[in-house]
A and B are shown apart, each in its own frame.
Chain A
Amino acid sequence: MAQALIDHIHPEAILLGVNAANSEAVIRQLAARLESLGYVKPSYVDAVVKREQTMPTGLPLGLAENVAVPHTDPIHVHRAGVALAVLSQPVDFANMEEPDEAVSVGIVFLLAINDKDKQIEMLQEIMGAIQSPEALTGLKQATSVDDVRAILS
C-alpha cells in the first residue's frame, strides 16, 4: 500500500497562517519544528538557508502564490520527513531555474531527505500536490491539521 504525502508530515510540522517577513524566516520556523521533532540535526537550518541563497527552490506555477521546496544535503538529516507552511501573506523565493527571478510563494514544503532511493515516493507525492491546483487551493484554505490531512491523504 502506497503511503500518502500526509504520512511523511508530522502533525506538529504543519504550520498554517504563518506570518513571515521573508523566505529565510519561513525556513527557520519550519526547520525549528523538524529539529525539535528529531528529524534533522542542528546544522540543518543554516545549511538550508545557505543553499537557498545559491541554489534556490522557488517553483513558478503561473499562480499568484506559488510553491517552494527548500532542502539540503542528507548529512544534516536524521530521518526523512516534510514540514509544511501555508503563509498568510506570500514571500519571495528565487526561481530554481532562473535564480535572478523572484517567485511569489504562499506554500512551502521543507524537505528532509537522507536516502533518495527510499524517498522517491515521498518526492513524487510532493510533486503531485504541487501540480494539483485543487490541492494548492485546498491548502490555502485549510484551517486545521485535519483539513490538511484530508487534502494530502
Chain B
Amino acid sequence: MARQKTILFACGTGVATSTAVNATVTEAMKARGLTFNALQCKATEVASMADGVDLIVSTTPISASVTVPIVKGLAFLTGIGKDKALDDIEAELRK
C-alpha cells in the first residue's frame, strides 16, 4: 500500500472556497477509492506550507517559486472543467 498522500487546499482566506473545494475533492476521490490527508491554508501561506505536500489545489494564483504540482481549483467552484481537474488529482494521487 502506497503512502497516504497530502493535498494542500489554498484560497485567499483559507476558509471559504478552499473549504468547498476540499469537501468536493474528498467526496469525489472517495468515490474513486482514494483517500488523502487534507490541509488548508491562505494563498499567502502556500510557500511555507508546501514542504512535504504532494499536490496543491488552489483557487487563486500561486507563487511561481512553489515546485509542488498544482491543480487549479476554480473548476470546483464554477463546475467548468471539473471532471478534468478530478482526473488530474486522481493521477497525482495514484503516482
Task: Please tell me if the beta carbons of B78 and A130 are within 8 angstroms of each other in the complex.
Answer: yes
Q: Assess whether A42 is interfacial by the CB under 8 Å rule.
A: no
Query: Which stretch from B18-26, B48-56, B87-95 is at the chain A interface?
Result: B18-26
Q: Assess whether A61 is interfacial by the CB under 8 Å rule.
A: yes
What count of chain A residues pass the 8 Å CB interface test? 29
Q: Assess whether B4 is interfacial by the CB under 8 Å rule.
A: no
Q: Assess whether A12 is interfacial by the CB under 8 Å rule.
A: no
Q: Assess whether A123 is interfacial by the CB under 8 Å rule.
A: yes
On chain B, the residues within 8 Å of A72 by CB distance are 13
On chain A, the residues within 8 Å of B43 by CB distance are 55
Chain B residue at minimum C-beta to C-beta distance from A125: B20
Write the nearest CB–CB distance from B40 to chain A, whole angstroms. 7
Q: Assess whether A124 is interfacial by the CB under 8 Å rule.
A: yes
Q: A60-B78, A127-B76 are in contact. Are A73 and B61 (CB under 8 A)?
A: no
Q: Assess whether B6 is interfacial by the CB under 8 Å rule.
A: no
Query: What is the CA–CA distance of A25 and B60 in the complex, to the nearest angstrom?
Result: 23
Task: Please tell me if the beta carbons of B60 and A73 are within 8 angstroms of each other in the complex.
Answer: no
Q: Assess whether B5 is interfacial by the CB under 8 Å rule.
A: no
Interface string of A101-126 (1 = CB under 8 A from B): 00000000001010011011001101
On chain A, the residues within 8 Å of B61 by CB distance are 97-99
Task: Please tell me if the beta carbons of A116 and B16 are within 8 angstroms of each other in the complex.
Answer: yes
Interface string of B20-39 (1 = CB under 8 A from A): 10011000000000000000
Given contacts A116-B15, A124-B20, 15 further A-B contacts (CB under 8 A): A51-B12, A51-B13, A55-B12, A57-B17, A60-B74, A62-B80, A69-B16, A71-B13, A71-B16, A72-B13, A99-B61, A113-B16, A116-B40, A124-B23, A130-B77
- Which residue numbers of A lie inside 8 Å of B, CB to CB? 51, 54-55, 57, 59-62, 69, 71-74, 96-99, 111, 113, 116-117, 119-120, 123-124, 126-127, 130-131
- Which residue numbers of B lie inside 8 Å of A, CB to CB? 11-17, 19-20, 23-24, 40, 43, 59-61, 72, 74, 76-80
